[in-house]
Structures are given as structure tokens and as C-alpha cells.
Structure 1
């Protein structure tokens, strides 16, 4: 079993001394240095992550709730309509066969503008049983003094080896996604021809399931 309910809190050296910058600028943060600490969660089956940025909360909200915003840091393509039951489809692999591109078929479950966003989520194709069940991601936006804090709570986990491996996958993936969000605000949109991977992020150990041909999943 993998340890559920971990929270990663991100802090940057000298972060509190840096000014905020609007979304259309590319210099809201200098090249960040990260530290992480692990804390327990009251709910052992919720994967929790947090990140901070000096970018205004309205601009952070925009990058999570528009096609253009998602493409700037999370995936090469997206299909989002900001309404309850509207699509929230993040296409991590746009060239993959239909049904294997990303979170196709996922919807927005609810939102409060610039405060909370709740969406359905799918595991990648190497986790077919988890992918069929879907999970839930709640994203919280909070202004803390001069900072915007983004909290991610990924829930809906069940028991079993495939579920544990999917949990481990997302434990790594959310670290990367939030780091890319911060990089987007510090240096501009992610170049998907050579996507940013922070040097501090260790490689996830490969699994046999990662190499199953997509047509057999």
C-alpha cells in the first residue's frame, strides 16, 4: 500500500520579498528554489498538494478554467466550458487514439469563481480499471497576504494494486503539474515540444503497466 493523504507544501527562497505580476507578463517569479515537507491528512484517501505564486488570484483562476490557460502549463490541448456539467477535458496526449488522449468525458462538478473548482478526473490508460471509475479533483484558490495559494485535493480512491499504482502516479504527476504552473508564471507558457521538468523532481520508478500497448488496455 502506498501512504495516502500526503500534502506537499511549496515555499520559495526569498519568495515573500517578490512583487506580484499580471498574467500577461512572464516574470512574476524568479527561477524558483523549492523545499517540500510532508504532513499528514485527516482523510487517508485524499491526495493533497499545495503551491504558491505571487500571481493575482484572478489570473491563476483563469489558467485553470480556460483552454488557453490549461495549454499554457498543464497539457498541449484542452476542451473546457466553465459551467456545471460543462466539459473539463485535459488532452495530455492529443495524438493518441480517441478515448486515450487524456481526461476525455470528464465534467465540471461545481465551482465558485476564483475560490473553488471541482472536476471529474481520469487516470491514464495504463490504469484501465481506475480510468473507468473516474476520480474527483477539488482545486481551492486562496489569497494569503501577497500570495495566491492553490490547493489540490484528489479523492475517490479505492483499494487494490492498480489503485495504489495510480495513486503513486498522481503523487508524482501533481508535483510536476504544480511546478509547471509556477514555471508558467515565472518564465511564460510551457513549450510542449520540450516540456519543463524541474531538476529537483525525482523520476518516478517505471512500472510494467506503463509499457502496455494502448490498443490492449
Structure 2
């Protein structure tokens, strides 16, 4: 790790401004750019890290673009489960990981927030619970973000969390059961469903990494 110098911060400004002028479909440009911003936050000293966080959080256009990228997770269809990440999936992974890092470091350094991100917690949980054919790396990226949210007890100056009642499409009411009150804003059923989904995901990853020969197949 090293301190970022004036040239590094100038480049950080330029790349973040460039991202703010892009659209989510500009994957070839956005994905490496978001990766560069993520790298700039992690591969430096705490002093430079604090300055880099302030630079990125002050860029309203960047955060608006990041919001659109995250929302593509709910609207994108995943027709198959390829052996490699598509450019669109890679962009989603980069977006979630960068958002998680901004959330963590904004809280750590109490950085000023000029533009908030909105997270539909129900959509994020459903993306994992009903994972269908989403790439494993995308699910891990979303979980990194949820982990950061959980560590801050669902309270953040950067992220505004909303919860929708999927049955009625309305804001979730205050919990009535004692168990739900203890887990609020999560419901007990959501926690159980998430736990089962994570267990299934671990099994899936295990089978992908340690594939055994099919029955009847000679070693």
C-alpha cells in the first residue's frame, strides 16, 4: 500500500467524472472504471483512503450512476448460467462491491454525504433467496453489500433502506411478533429463507469446485 499523490487524485477525479457521464449499458467503459475506483479505495493508506472516499462521495453524478447500476440487478434477466461472467454481470459485481466499500468507509470516516443510495431490502434478499441462474460471483457481491448494511444495523447516512411487502406492494408494517421485532427490519420468514438459500449456494459452489465423476463413469 502507498499514499496517493496529486496525480493519483487527479486521475480519481477524472475517472469518477467519466463514470458519472456514462449509462449502465456502457459496460466496456464502466466496468474497468468502477474496478479502478474500488482499487483506489483499498490499495492505499488510511489517510489517502479517507480523502478518496470524500472525493467519490462528493460526486453526485457517480452515485446516481451507481444507483442505476444496482437497480439493473432486479431488471436484468438471467436466461442461462454460463461458465464465465458476461460483461453485464461483471458490471453488476463491480457496482455492488464499490457500493459496499463506500458504505463501509463512509461510516468509518464519517464522510459527508452529498447523494444517497436507495436499497430495496426485499429485492436484495429475493435476489439471493430466489437466485435462479444468477452467477455465483454476483450473489457474493450482493452479500458483501448486505453484510456491510447488517454491520451498521441497517442505519447509514449513505444508504436509505426501504422494505416492500411483496404480497401487497406496500411498505412493510411494524412487526407484531416478538421474533420479528428482534430482527426488524427483517422478518423471521426472510431470515429462514435467506439461510436456506445460502446453504444451497454453498452446496452449489462445493459441487462446482469438487465435481465428482458421474455414476457409472470410470475414473
TM-score range, shorter-chain basis? under 0.3
TM-score between the two structures when normalised by the length of structure 1 = 0.26
TM-score between the two structures when normalised by the length of structure 2 = 0.26
Task: Point out the structure with max Rg over C-alpha.
Answer: 2
Larger RCO: Structure 1 or Structure 2 (Cα < 8 Å, ≥ 6 residues apart)?
Answer: 1
Structure number with higher strand proportion: 1
